Amino acid sequence: MRVIFAGGGTGGHINPALSIAGYAAEKDENFEALFIGTRRGLETKLVPAAGYNIEYIDIEGFDRKHILKNIRVLKKLHDSEKRCCRIIEDFRPDCVVCTGGYVSGPVSMAAGKLHIPALIHEQNVYPGLTVSASEKYVDYVAVSFEETVSHMKDKSKCVVTGNPVRGEIISAKKETARLELGITSKKPFVLIFGGSLGADKINETVLDMLPVLAEKKSFRLLFGTGDRNYQKIMEIVHEREIEIGGDIEIVPYINNMHTAMAAADIVVCRSGAITVSELAVMLKPSVLIPSPNVVRNHQEQNAREVESKGGAVVICENELDGKSLYSTITEIVSDSKRLLKMSEGMKAIRKADASERIYELMCKMTEKKQ
């Protein structure tokens, strides 16, 4: 099977494509993949690191604030579609898989023009502009949440697959993870992070919460500040003479995230689509703090969907402070029945076989082309 993958910008668009490609490579010894992305996104590092070739196009998203700038965007879209047609004709794929982001637009258009079977995957609850616009060019729209289907025009193309997540997330076990982290006590273990770069509001809130935690020692904490914020956070900790160490560990970046998530009794984090899907696969209770700085408020929509199933508590940034966060965490981790109920709630959105489901669609498209 020969497949072109399109997705770029953030890890949220690239990692699902890499997960699907990895699964396909395990199933088909003749599998070949080519990625299409831009030179500005994380794909420039992640795709070559995974061992795949990548072609680049010059495309950007529409500017919702400065309408006149979109004349340039439309020109780039036209030129990128032509380049994608050439890439497709040269590579001769059996099918095309798009995982969202503006890179997927010209790729799906080119696939439709050349009559190459294609699918596009939507990670979030509410479909983005590219997915909605690409729907008419593809054979399938793979969605991660049941709710998403109601927002699509052609519901007959929709298949609920879930979000592809890394294999180490699927296989991670709580007991093994705790041993790996050296956690031997039965004290609740809480993981807090704001993403690879960190999140200022979450960091500020945890700083406000730390003095109470240091005094009461009600749970064990692993707090990832993000690389860019670590030095600043530690300076404030020392200025305020907050006692850390022992049950409070502060790190710039969590390299073994799958282990930390598996070991935790509860996770406090943002609600990006992939993060939410990873939590669901692990049946992990969570406190979700949606980022307000995303298009169409995707993160709150994702968080509310999990909350509606009972798997998470949602705290928006305008309601967030150290006292409320500490109170929410302690109330949950001190109630074993509630923790169990939240884990059960995660089952409603858990889809650990997303890569397999999408691979099955790829096989159908390949058969259709032949």
Domain borders along the chain are 2-165+352-369, 168-346
Q: How far apart are CA 312 and CA 346, in angstroms?
A: 8
For residues 91 and 4, the answer to whether their CB atoms sit within 8 Å is yes
Q: How far apart are CA 271 and CA 256, in angstroms?
A: 19
Residue 228, pLDDT score: 86
Residue 64, pLDDT score: 64
Residue 369, pLDDT score: 67
**For each of the chain's 370 residues, which pLDDT tens digit applies?**
999 999 887 777 898 999 999 999 999 999 999 999 999 888 999 999 999 999 999 887 766 666 667 777 788 889 999 999 999 999 999 999 999 888 999 999 999 999 999 999 999 888 988 899 999 999 999 999 999 999 999 999 999 999 999 888 999 999 999 999 999 888 999 999 987 666 899 999 999 999 999 999 999 999 999 888 899 999 999 999 988 888 999 999 898 999 999 999 999 999 999 999 999 999 999 999 999 988 778 899 999 999 999 999 999 999 999 999 999 999 999 999 999 999 999 999 999 999 999 999 999 999 876 6
Q: How far apart are CA 155 and CA 151, in angstroms?
A: 9
- Which residue intervals of the chain are DSSP H helices? 11-27, 43-49, 70-91, 104-113, 129-134, 146-149, 167-171, 174-181, 200-216, 230-239, 257-263, 273-281, 298-308, 322-333, 336-346, 354-369
Residue 65, pLDDT score: 67
Residue 101, pLDDT score: 85
Instruction: Quickly list DSSP for 201-249.
Output: HHHHHHHHHHHHHHHH--SEEEEE--GGGHHHHHHHHHHTT---BTTEE
Question: In CATH, what number does 168-346 get?
Answer: 3.40.50.2000
Same fold, 2-165+352-369 and 168-346: yes
- The answer to whether domain 2-165+352-369 has CATH 3.40.50.2000 is yes
